Structure 1
């Protein structure tokens, strides 16, 4: 039986898509058969979480834990099946998740940019039409919109 004794990040990196929780010695420990094993950065050293879906992405990685000379490898797939691990993990990563409101604002900004570009294209088309028809009044009023 595996349970989490302690899970603290050494440091946290974030980019547009992921939160990376970097682990180090003495920051991550588990109980295995009532014995405490300390994390050692032999193989995997970080937990990568998608900021939008809030899911662990590096599910195939293996983490090493050591007690004395004995090293046990636990795959991330097994760790994410532990409720106490997920609770700790999400409490650490939660401030870095992309909120739905923030995502909607980004989509609105994208939409506004597209609309502005379309309006500019339309004004240029109308300027061309005014030039073709030699309509000076329309031409001057449209040029002011650019």
Structure 2
């Protein structure tokens, strides 16, 4: 019997066309026949999800799991047969799929974008200093929606 014990991303990398869930030791473990196996970054190291189709792209990649000296190789396609694996992946990816796609910006656009974000953060600090809760909440939502 195969089941997912834990799946947490080491970090999530957002790209224009995909989201990459980067895996690391101690962040991903599975149970196989009542034995706990931990992910080892030997071969595959990520789960890549297409932003448009919301499907896992690298299904042929092989992930390696270790229990003591015993190692097992499992493809992402095999893991996709497990409902709890898909539940974990969807809960991680959902946060990033809701956000707007990052756009390939020119240098000038990137500078303007960065200045707008810095200004919004400065205004949040100002609202906190003046204890203006409505303004604070409005600005937090503005940053969440636009950056």
| Coarse TM-score class (shorter-chain normalised) | 0.5 to 0.7
Q: Which runs of 4+ in 1 moved over 4 A?
A: none
Kindly indicate whether the alpha-carbon contact (under 8 Å) linking 1:10 and 1:24 is maintained by their aligned counterparts in 2: yes
Q: Which residue of 2 aligns with 1:51?
A: 51
Report SS of the residue matched to 1:95.
Answer: helix
Report SS of the residue matched to 1:16.
Answer: coil
Q: Distance in 2 between matches of 1:60 and 1:16?
A: 22
Provide the TM-score with structure 2 as the length reference. 0.66
Q: Distance in 2 between matches of 1:71 and 1:27?
A: 17
Q: Distance in 1 between matches of 2:55 and 2:2?
A: 21
Alignment of 1:77-92 (within 5 A): 77-92=77-92
Q: Which residue of 2 aligns with 1:22?
A: 22
Q: Distance in 2 between matches of 1:59 and 1:98?
A: 23
Report SS of the residue matched to 1:42.
Answer: coil
Q: Distance in 1 between matches of 2:6 and 2:33?
A: 16
Alignment: residue pair count: 102
Q: Distance in 1 between matches of 2:67 and 2:15?
A: 34
Deviation at 1:52, TM superposition (A): 1.5
Q: Distance in 1 between matches of 2:91 and 2:42?
A: 25
Kindly indicate whether the alpha-carbon contact (under 8 Å) linking 1:52 and 1:98 is maintained by their aligned counterparts in 2: no
Q: Structure 1: 5+ residue runs without aligned partners?
A: 104-146
Provide the TM-score with structure 1 as the length reference. 0.67
Q: Distance in 1 between matches of 2:81 and 2:50?
A: 17
Q: Distance in 1 between matches of 2:39 and 2:70?
A: 12
Q: Structure 2: 5+ residue runs without aligned partners?
A: 102-147
Q: Which residue of 1 aligns with 2:4?
A: 4
Kindly indicate whether the alpha-carbon contact (under 8 Å) linking 1:51 and 1:98 is maintained by their aligned counterparts in 2: no
Report SS of the residue matched to 1:37.
Answer: strand
Deviation at 1:98, TM superposition (A): 5.4
Q: Distance in 1 between matches of 2:56 and 2:80?
A: 8
